[in-house]
Amino acid sequence: MSEKMKVKPADGKLGVLCVGLGAVTSTFMTGTLMARKGLSKPVGSLTQMATMRVGKGKDKQYKKFGEIVPLTQLNDIVFGAWDIFPDTAYESAIHAEVLKEKDINPVKEELSAIKPMPAAFDLNFVKRLNGTNIKQADNRWDLTEQLRADIRNFKAANGCARIVVIWAASTEIYVPLNMDVHGTLASFEKAMKENDTEHIAPSMCYAYAAIAEGCPFIMGAPNLCVDMPAMWEFSQKMNVPISGKDFKTGQTMMKTVLAPAFKTRMLGLNGWFSTNILGNRDGEVLDDPENFKTKEVSKLSVIETILDGEEYPDLYSNIFHKVRINYYPPRNDDKEGWDNIDIYGWMGYPMQIKVDFLCKDSILAAPLLLDLVLLSDLACRAGKGGIQTWLSFYLKSPMHDFEHKPVHDLFEQYAMLKNSIREMGGYEADQELD
Total domain count for the chain? 2
Among 309, 328, 359, identify where a domain stops: 359
Identify the pLDDT of residue 297. 74
Mean pLDDT of 156-173: 97
Global pTM reads 0.94
What CATH number is associated with residue 317?
A: 3.30.360.10
Higher local confidence (pLDDT), 388 or 333: 388
Residue 83 pLDDT > 80:
yes
Q: Tell me what pLDDT residue 255 has.
A: 93
| Residue 211 and residue 125 share a domain | yes
Would you say residue 8 has pLDDT above 70?
Answer: yes
For residue 84, give the nearest of 15, 136, 32 by alpha carbon: 136
Reported as a single tens digit per residue, the pLDDT across 344-400 is: 999 999 999 999 999 998 999 999 999 999 999 999 999 999 999 999 999 999 999
Same domain, 337 and 377: no
Last residue of a domain, one of 359, 379, 394: 359
Residue 7 lies in a domain: no
Looking at the structure, tell me whether residues 417 and 370 fall in a common domain. Answer: yes
Long-range contacts at 61-69 (CB < 8 A, ≥ 24 apart) = 65/421, 68/421, 68/422, 68/424, 68/425, 68/427, 69/7, 69/378, 69/421, 69/424, 69/425
256 and 241 share one domain:
no
Say yes or no: 296 and 148 in one domain: no
3 falls within a domain: no
Regarding whether 411 and 312 lie in a shared domain, the answer is: no
Angstrom CA distances, 79 to 114, 143, 166, 202, stand at 7, 22, 11, 21
Please identify, among 318, 342, 359, the residue that sits at the C-terminal boundary of a domain: 359
Residues 17 and 153 in one domain: yes
Any domain includes 297? yes
Task: Give 285's pLDDT tier (boundaries 50, 70, 90).
Answer: confident
Residue 236, domain member (yes or no): yes
| Overall average pLDDT of the 318-336 stretch | 90
Q: Is 407 inside a domain boundary? A: yes
Summary mean pLDDT of the chain: 94
Domain that holds residue 331: 251-359
Per DSSP, the three-state class of 405 is coil
Mean pLDDT of 140-164: 98
Entry field: residues in the chain: 434
- Please indicate, yes or no, whether residues 165 and 33 belong to a single structural domain of this protein: yes
- The mean-pLDDT minimum among 162-171, 257-266, 317-326, 425-434 falls in 425-434
pLDDT of residue 371: 98
Count Cα neighbours of 93 within 13 Å in the Cβ-side half-sphere: 30
CATH of the domain at 232: 3.40.50.720
Kindly report the backbone phi and psi dihedral angles of residue 339, in degrees, each rounded to the nearest multiple of 5, phi listed first: -125, 130
What pLDDT score does 351 carry? 98
Q: What is the mean pLDDT of residues 86-103?
A: 97
Question: Looking at residue 292, what is its pLDDT?
Answer: 67
Same domain? 231 vs 257:
no
Are 317 and 374 in the same domain?
no
Tell me if 2 is assigned to some domain.
no
Question: 222 and 140: one domain?
Answer: yes
Question: Distances in Å between the alpha carbon of 64 and those of 37, 41, 138, 191, 374?
Answer: 20, 15, 49, 45, 14
pLDDT score, position 356: 96
Indicate whether 124 and 216 sit together in one domain: yes
pLDDT digits (tens, 9 = 90+) for 221-265: 999 999 999 999 999 999 999 999 999 988 889 999 999 999 999
Helical ranges in 16-139 per DSSP H: 23-36, 46-49, 65-68, 89-96, 101-104, 108-112
Q: Is residue 37 part of a domain?
A: yes
Segment 13-20 mean pLDDT? 98
Half-sphere exposure of 204 (CA within 13 A, CB side): 32
In this structure, is residue 58 part of a structural domain?
A: yes
